[in-house]
Amino acid sequence: MKRMLKVLKWIGLFLLTFFSLYFLAAFGLARIGVAEEEGAKDEMTVFIKTNGVHTDIVVPIRNEQKDWSEKIKFSDTKSGATNFQYVGIGWGDKGFYLETPTWAELKASVAFKAATGLSTTAIHASFYPTMSVDDTTRDIKISKEQYERLIRYIDQAFQKDAEGYYIPIKTDAVYGENDAFYEAVGSYSMFHTCNTWTNKSLKAAGQKAALWTPFDTGIFYHYD
């Protein structure tokens, strides 16, 4: 019994030290900024949006450079409506997305797989008729060349079928009438979260970003 208690004590000490260092690193590295590129033209607007935990990058559904509706299809949503101008795109753990409608329903198995990179990932796409700046949303001016890089970054996160189309996930676990899920590439972990992915999307587009952040606050810190 004494030996078991000693082992449990060391495990508890290790976990306390590990998570203390993790949150300290998350706090410190998030406040080290990556500067935006200088000299870029303000040719279009994209957005970052948070629900308080998870962030999306929001882009125009279509312009002369990209028509996202060709692969993120309106028909993949419950409503099938087409009267939208923007699509929010977020990458994350499939278990969190599909099996955890509220934090109260979070399963230990889902949390463990997400933290350790053992589960698969998904893309969540949400359609919006308009976008406005508020406490949860920031607008970002970028050039067409920067948008090309952002397009490539987002596109490579989707799994694709033999014809190059995104693969929808058939599920009733959507958040509303105008969103859909798609199979994604990569592994989620506590070091590469949904917010880490969004933060990297900003870096890909030459915009302000945190050096590293697993949380939405680390991104929005640089846009307040």
pLDDT digits (tens, 9 = 90+) for 192-218: 999 999 999 999 999 999 999 999 999
Amino acid at 160: K
Given pLDDT bands bounded at 50, 70 and 90, which one contains residue 1? Answer: confident
pLDDT at 42: 96
Tell me, yes or no, whether 180 lies in a domain: yes
pLDDT at 96: 86
More confident residue, 101 or 174: 174
- Crossing angle (nearest 10°) for helices 144-155 and 194-204: 150
pLDDT at 102: 60
Measured in residues, the chain has a length of 224
With a cut of 90, say whether residue 5 has pLDDT above it: no
The encoded tokens of residue 204 equal 């890909």
Q: What is the pLDDT of residues 30-59, one digit of tens each?
A: 999 999 999 999 999 999 999 998 999 999
**Up-side HSE of residue 189: CA atoms within 13 Å toward CB?**
8
With a cut of 80, say whether residue 101 has pLDDT above it: no
Amino acid at 65: Q
Q: 112, 187 in Cβ contact below 8 A?
A: no
Across all residues in the chain, what is the average pLDDT? 93
Mean pLDDT over 176-187 rounds to 97
Tell me, yes or no, whether 20 lies in a domain: no
Tell me, yes or no, whether 191 lies in a domain: yes
What are the phi and psi torsion angles at 137 (to 5°)? Answer: -140, 135
Tell me, yes or no, whether 185 lies in a domain: yes
Range with lowest mean pLDDT among 98-107, 117-126, 168-177: 98-107
The encoded tokens of residue 213 equal 């952040």
Q: Distance between CA atoms of 113 and 177, rounded to whole angstroms? A: 29
Tell me, yes or no, whether 78 lies in a domain: yes
Q: What is the pLDDT of residues 103-149, one digit of tens each?
A: 566 677 777 787 777 788 999 999 999 999 999 999 999 999 999 99
Q: Look up the domain containing 58 and give its range.
A: 31-223
> pTM to 2 decimals?
0.92
Given pLDDT bands bounded at 50, 70 and 90, which one contains residue 3? Answer: confident
Tell me, yes or no, whether 123 lies in a domain: yes
More confident residue, 117 or 224: 224
pLDDT at 18: 83
- For CA atoms 103, 104, 106, 112, the dihedral sign is positive
Chain centroid offset of residue 31 CA: 19
Single out the residue of 11, 20, 24 nearest to residue 213, CA to CA. 24
Tell me, yes or no, whether 26 lies in a domain: no
Tell me, yes or no, whether 186 lies in a domain: yes
Structural domain count, the chain: 1
